[in-house]
Amino acid sequence: MPTPASLSANLAPAAPPAGLHRLLPRTLFSRVTLIIVVGLAIAQLLTFMAIRYERGIAMRELMMIGIERDIASSVAVLDRLPAAEREGWLARLERRNYHFVLGGNAEGTPPDTQLSQQFATAITDAMRPFEIVKVGQVSNPPQGLQIQVRLSDGSSVVVHARRVDMPVSSWVMWLLWVQLLVLAVCAWYAVRLVTRPLAQLADAADELGPDLKGQQLAEEGPTEVRHAARAFNAMQKRIAGYMAERVEILAAISHDLQTPITRMRLRTDLMDDGHDRDKFRQDLDAMHALVREGVTYARTLHGATEPPRRVDADALFESMVADYEDSGEQVLLEGRAGEPIVTRPNALRRILTNLIDNALKFGTDVRLQVHAGAGNRLTLAVVDNGPGIPPDQLENVLKPFYRVEGSRNRNTGGTGLGLAIAQQLATAMGAELTLRNRDEGGLEARLTMNTRDAPHDD
């Protein structure tokens, strides 16, 4: 019996060839515009070719009917004229597609194309009963014919004839180009009218960060666009309401827990047994830390209200390393940013602190590597020589309350919120936090962020 997955695979449309994807533009707007314009151009070209072919056939039929009669009539006139007067009439009898030469012999080879043969047959049939001495096809003019005719007095006259294709005025080609340009502009405007709401919806979705304070879409335009905008705005409000309620619940729980935790601390101070008192105090400290970090995580979900400002990144990193040295922890700083950056310094400090604390918990050789890349990109990597993380859990450790260490001991595994808070703050800053195991052993936590050029002071 086929499974749903197999049915979906069978019903799925075949993917376009990989080479076609490379040839097409990246944006939907460009692709649809290109398809419409190219389709219109091909349709217009086919129409032009069909009309030209039909007119060519009609022109050829008319030419076949008229030219052989004109040539036959002209030969008959030359035959009736005295030999001495024939030379004077040649210019009068000449036309755009044929003229006459007295005497001489026809040159060329027998006609080798169907159109040339039909043209020659029509002329020779019309000139009967005059004797046709030779019919030759020459290359100049292209597909030109030389027909040698013997007159009644025994002299010869050579008819130089050529087929004339359908003339096309230059203004017709200009009109076709203008028509194609008008169609292209109309197609561009129509596609832009359709895809612009999609681009606005995508921009609004991108701006919807952890703070859920994205822009409200204008509910205007066609019915479908207005409906999509209303649905997106309503979705933003519902999600923001859910998250606000979640933060309020966590804040209320943390506030309510502060009082019993404080009372329990006071009671532990009155206990006589020092061993039990220390155990209770450790548990209370762990509860207090868990409540505090839970509230911190909830606030990061609610967004970073800290405004971006210009900071000396190198001084910030050096001060953080110095703080760890003062506390007896060894953290090495490698690389420099080289110039001030615009960022949220408190959020950046909190991210790096969480990453470094996590590295110090599991490793002894901890380094903060700074690399300034092109395009205002700054990469910060916290590396350690610890045991690393199983590859199948690299994404899970960024989730709240998830700990790789399975003993559930707060002293060894922590609260499971340090990396989650760093991930949320990185998202709020527009940065990217990734984890990977190093080939030489240990873990690398890499923070990639875009930095704008810092404004110059007056």
Residue with tokens 């017709």: 172
CATH architecture assignment, domain 304-450? 2-Layer Sandwich (3.30)
Q: Which two tokens stand for residue 13?
A: 């449309």
- CA separation (Å) from 27 to 33, 278, 432? 10, 64, 24
**Alpha-carbon gap, residue 195 to 201, rounded angstroms:** 10
Return the SS3 of 222.
Answer: coil
pLDDT tens per residue, range 318-338: 999 999 998 888 899 999 888
Q: Which two tokens stand for residue 223?
A: 């019915």
The more confident residue out of 400 and 220 is 220
Decide: 196 and 225 in contact? Cβ < 8 Å: no
Amino acid identity, position 238: R
**Alpha-carbon gap, residue 159 to 107, rounded angstroms:** 11
Is the pLDDT reported for residue 156 higher than 80?
A: yes
CATH architecture assignment, domain 223-291? Orthogonal Bundle (1.10)
What residue spans define the domains of the chain?
Answer: 24-197, 223-291, 304-450
Answer positive or negative: Cα dihedral of 255, 258, 263, 264: positive
pTM beyond cutoff 0.85: no
CATH annotation of 24-197: 3.30.450.300
* Residue 454 pLDDT: 42
Decide: 124 and 134 in contact? Cβ < 8 Å: no
pLDDT tens per residue, range 401-447: 666 654 333 344 555 677 888 888 888 788 889 999 988 888 999 99
**Alpha-carbon gap, residue 143 to 111, rounded angstroms:** 8
* Residue 211 pLDDT: 57
Decide: 156 and 104 in contact? Cβ < 8 Å: yes
Q: Are strands 366-373 and 331-334 parallel, antiparallel or unpaired?
A: parallel
The more confident residue out of 153 and 30 is 153
